[in-house]
C-alpha cells in the first residue's frame, strides 16, 4: 500500500512539472527568406510596457520600394528591427510590392497568422481600409496618411512638412548664391508636404532667398533626378534637397560632381558624398515603429491619426560630419535653436502651411 502511495505521489509531481514546463514559451524565429533574422536568445521585454489583453503582435512591414534605398524605406526597416530587438516579436517584411498585388500580399500574410499589418506609404491606404473591414480583430497601421478608420486602422505620419522646413532652413542659411531648390519624387501628399515645408523653411531663415521646386514623378529613377538637379545647378542654384526615395541619391551625385551642396533626406546620407552632404534631416522610423507597438501593448493604440514630429524625437538634424569646421558657428547655433523652437512649440508648423 505504501509503495502504491509513493507511485501515485511521484506521478502527481511529474504531472505538475510537465504542466509548468508546458507554459514556458520560446520566442519564435522567422524561418523565411522574406523574414527578418531573429535570435532565439532575444526574450520579449514585456516588463517595459504595461500589460493589456492584446494578443502578442506578429508584425509584417509591407513596402513598395527597396529597404536599401538609404531613405524612407530604410528607416522603416530599421524601425522594424528595433521592435524585433526590443521585444523579440515575430516580424517579417516584404519590399518591392507592386500596386496591383497589394491586396493579394496582405491576404497572404493574414493567412499565415500575422495580426499586425503595416503598410508603409500612402499607396497602401485604399487596400488596407478595404481589407481591414473584413478583419476587425486584426490591427492595421498605415504610414504617410492622415486618416485612420474604425475600428482597427491607425494612420501614423512622421511630419513631412517639419522635415522639409528644417531642410529649407539649412539651405536658406548656407547658400552663397541665394538660390536653393527642392526636388520631390512622385507628387503624393507626403512629398508635397515636404516640398512645401522646404520652401517655407528657406524663406523663414532667409527672406531674400530665391526658391525653386519640381517633381520627377519617380522614387527610383536616379538618372532623371540627377539631370533635374544638374539643370538647377546650371541655373545658379547652389544648395539642393531631394525627397524622392532611392532616386534622391541622384541629386546628391549631381551636387557632388558640380560643386553644389546637398542636404540628405530621411536617413543620414553623408556617407554617399562626405564633402557634399552638409547635413541630413532624419525621419526616425525607430521612433515611429516603437511608438505604435508600445501603444498597442498598452491597449491605447486607436484608429486615428498620429503625427510624430520634432517634439517626439522623430524629426531632427544629423551630425555635421566635420562641416562644423566650415559652416559659421552662428549658423549652426541658429539651426539648433530653430530645431529647439520647433520642439517646444515656439515655432508652429501650422503658421507656415
Q: How many helices (H) and strands (E) does the chain have?
A: 10, 12
Cβ atoms of 215 and 183 closer than 8 Å: yes
> For residue 23, how many other CB atoms are within 10 A of its CB?
6
Q: Are strands 277-283 and 315-317 parallel, antiparallel or unpaired?
A: antiparallel
> For residue 203, how many other CB atoms are within 10 A of its CB?
17
Strand partners, 63: 120
Ramachandran region, residue 322 (left: φ > 0; alpha: ψ -120 to 50; beta: rest): left
Q: Can you spell out the DSSP letters for 267-299?
A: S--GGG-TTTEEEEEEE-HHHHHHHHHHHHHHT
Dihedral sign (CA 228, 230, 231, 237): positive
Global pTM reads: 0.83
Q: How far from the centroid of its chain's Cα atoms is residue 206's Cα?
A: 29
pLDDT in tens, the chain (353 residues): 433 444 334 334 333 333 333 333 322 333 332 333 332 222 233 334 444 456 899 999 999 988 888 888 999 999 999 999 999 999 999 999 999 999 999 999 999 999 999 999 999 999 999 999 999 999 999 999 999 999 999 999 999 999 999 999 999 999 999 999 999 999 999 999 999 999 999 999 999 999 999 999 999 999 999 999 999 999 999 999 999 988 999 999 999 999 999 999 999 999 999 999 999 999 999 999 999 999 999 999 999 999 999 999 999 999 999 999 999 999 999 999 999 999 999 999 999 99
For cell 543620414, the residue is: 268
- DSSP at 10: H
CA distance 158 to 216: 22
CA distance 205 to 263: 15
For cell 525653386, the residue is: 212
> For residue 124, how many other CB atoms are within 10 A of its CB?
28
The three state secondary structure string of 311-335 is CCCCEEECCCCCHHHCCCHHHHHHH
Ramachandran region, residue 349 (left: φ > 0; alpha: ψ -120 to 50; beta: rest): alpha
Amino acid at each position: 500500500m505504501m509503495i502504491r502511495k509513493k507511485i501515485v505521489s511521484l506521478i502527481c509531481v511529474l504531472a505538475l512539472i510537465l504542466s509548468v514546463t508546458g507554459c514556458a514559451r520560446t520566442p519564435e524565429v522567422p524561418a523565411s527568406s522574406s523574414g527578418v533574422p531573429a535570435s532565439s536568445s532575444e526574450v520579449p521585454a514585456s516588463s517595459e510596457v504595461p500589460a493589456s489583453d492584446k494578443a502578442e503582435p506578429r508584425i509584417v512591414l509591407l513596402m513598395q520600394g527597396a529597404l536599401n534605398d538609404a531613405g524612407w524605406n530604410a528607416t522603416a526597416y530599421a524601425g522594424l528591427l528595433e521592435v524585433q530587438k526590443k521585444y523579440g516579436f515575430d516580424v517579417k517584411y516584404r519590399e518591392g510590392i507592386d500596386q496591383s498585388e497589394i491586396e493579394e500580399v496582405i491576404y497572404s500574410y493574414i493567412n499565415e497568422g500575422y495580426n499586425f499589418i503595416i503598410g508603409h506609404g500612402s499607396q497602401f491606404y485604399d487596400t488596407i481600409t478595404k481589407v481591414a473591414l473584413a478583419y476587425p480583430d486584426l490591427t492595421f497601421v498605415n504610414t504617410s496618411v492622415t486618416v485612420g478608420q474604425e475600428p482597427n486602422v491607425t494612420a501614423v505620419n512622421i511630419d513631412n512638412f517639419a522635415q522639409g522646413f528644417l531642410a529649407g532652413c539649412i539651405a536658406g542659411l548656407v547658400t552663397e548664391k541665394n538660390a536653393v531648390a527642392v526636388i520631390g519624387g512622385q507628387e503624393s501628399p507626403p512629398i508635397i508636404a515636404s516640398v512645401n515645408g522646404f520652401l517655407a523653411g528657406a524663406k523663414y531663415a532667409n527672406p531674400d532667398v530665391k526658391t525653386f521646386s519640381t517633381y520627377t514623378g519617380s522614387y527610383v529613377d536616379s538618372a532623371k533626378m540627377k539631370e533635374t538637379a544638374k539643370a538647377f545647378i546650371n541655373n545658379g542654384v547652389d544648395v539642393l534637397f531631394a525627397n524622392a526615395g532611392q532616386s534622391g541619391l541622384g541629386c546628391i551625385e549631381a551636387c557632388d560632381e558640380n560643386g553644389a551642396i546637398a542636404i540628405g533626406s530621411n536617413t543620414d546620407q553623408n556617407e554617399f558624398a562626405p564633402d557634399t552632404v552638409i547635413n541630413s534631416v532624419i525621419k526616425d522610423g525607430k521612433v515611429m515603429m516603437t511608438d505604435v507597438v508600445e501603444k498597442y501593448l498598452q491597449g491605447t493604440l486607436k484608429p486615428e491619426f498620429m503625427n510624430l514630429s520634432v517634439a517626439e524625437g522623430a524629426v531632427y538634424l544629423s551630425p555635421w560630419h566635420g562641416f562644423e569646421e566650415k559652416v559659421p558657428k552662428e549658423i549652426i547655433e541658429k539651426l539648433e535653436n530653430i530645431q529647439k523652437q520647433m520642439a517646444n512649440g515656439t515655432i508652429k508648423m501650422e503658421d507656415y502651411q
